[in-house]
Structure 1
Amino acid sequence: MVSLKRMLNKVNLKGFTLVEMVITLAIAIIITGIGAIELNAYKEKLILENTVAEIRSAVEQAARVSATNKQACVIKYFPDLKEIEFVGDNYFKSLKISQPIHVYNLSNLQISTTGSMAPHTITISNDKNTRKIKLQMTWGRAINDS
């Protein structure tokens, strides 16, 4: 009969040592942490880009409505409420802004009955990134200025 000790010597079991397992686990945690940080930064940038697009689109829509209906429109920004309102005689639109976003240079802008307004630059930022919208509405354009 073959002894158990001899059988175990023949079967050479290999595996991770405790140190190797700890190192592998640490590397996996670091890679996952870096991915989570990058994902959060991407999310913040995406929220900022979407907010810029929404504001730009809303201003252009208000200008089109003003020109079509031959009525003036006022753009009002309420920083405490994080809300932008577009108010005309027969037109009202409200736009909510995400909490980490700040909008600058947007207060009581007037859109004329022809859909034009004086050139103006709106600055939109979160804590890390800033985007600008140049309003050249005499020519009917709002331009993103990164």
Structure 2
Amino acid sequence: MKRMLNKANLKGFTMVEMVITLTIAIIITGIGAIELNVYKEKLILENTVGEIRSAVEQAARVSATSKQTCVIRYFPNAKEIEFVGENYFKSLKIAYPIHVYNLSILRISTTGSMAPHTITISDGRNTRKIKLQMTWGRAINDS
């Protein structure tokens, strides 16, 4: 009989404790969702920088191996970069939140080199730069 009375006197969470616990859980979940969006934006920016750098290096290699001039054009309204050579064409779409600066028309010579140039890529919060030192045959990320 005493055991039954002891069990009856046991208390669970009160309503105030339950509300506080739920509030803390919701706040933690909300912070995680915000951080996930920030991470996603940074990931899109880093991937775009890598794609542009790789495409420029590939166009330089094509120019050097096939002895043809390659032109790089950026179309901001269409959010597209085109790499055009005599027998070479590559199109690179840029994600919506990303903006590319200092890139209108660039020429890569038949030797695969071009004058040094810096391309700036931004998502509004973060900015990355690609230094094109193509006389040395490299495109360098400059954070």
| Structure 2 residue matching 1:51: 3-state secondary structure | helix
What amino acid maps onto 1:40 in structure 2?
A: N
Counterpart among 27, 30, 33 of residue 33 in structure 1: 30
Establish whether residue 86 from structure 1 lines up as the match of residue 107 from structure 2: no
Establish whether residue 108 from structure 1 lines up as the match of residue 91 from structure 2: no
For residues 56-67 of structure 1, the aligned pairs below 5 Å read 56-67=53-64
Q: Which runs of 5+ in 1 are unaligned?
A: none
- CA shift at 1:127, angstroms? 1.1
What do the CA deviations read for 1:64-112 (whole angstroms, capped 9, x no partner)?
0000000000000011111000000000000000000000001110000
Q: Which structure has the larger Rg over C-alpha atoms?
A: 1
- CA shift at 1:14, angstroms? 1.8
Provide the aligned length of Structure 1 versus Structure 2: 142
Q: How large is the RMSD of aligned CA atoms in angstroms?
A: 1.3
TM-score by length of structure 1 reads: 0.94
For residues 118-133 of structure 1, the aligned pairs below 5 Å read 118-133=115-130
What amino acid maps onto 1:19 in structure 2?
A: V
Counterpart Cα distance in 2 of 1:67 and 1:13: 82
For residues 35-74 of structure 1, the aligned pairs below 5 Å read 35-74=32-71
Counterpart Cα distance in 2 of 1:19 and 1:51: 49
- CA shift at 1:13, angstroms? 2.4
What amino acid maps onto 1:102 in structure 2?
A: H
| Structure 1 residue matching 2:103: 3-state secondary structure | coil
Counterpart among 11, 15, 23 of residue 12 in structure 2: 15
Counterpart Cα distance in 1 of 2:89 and 2:73: 11
| Structure 2 residue matching 1:23: 3-state secondary structure | helix
What amino acid maps onto 2:118 in structure 1?
A: T
Higher mean C-alpha deviation, range 6-15 or range 83-92:
6-15
- CA shift at 1:8, angstroms? 5.9
What do the CA deviations read for 1:27-53 (whole angstroms, capped 9, x no partner)?
000000000000100000000000000
The match for 1:136 is 133
TM-score by length of structure 2 reads: 0.96
Q: Which runs of 5+ in 2 are unaligned?
A: none
Counterpart Cα distance in 2 of 1:141 and 1:10: 77
- CA shift at 1:129, angstroms? 0.1
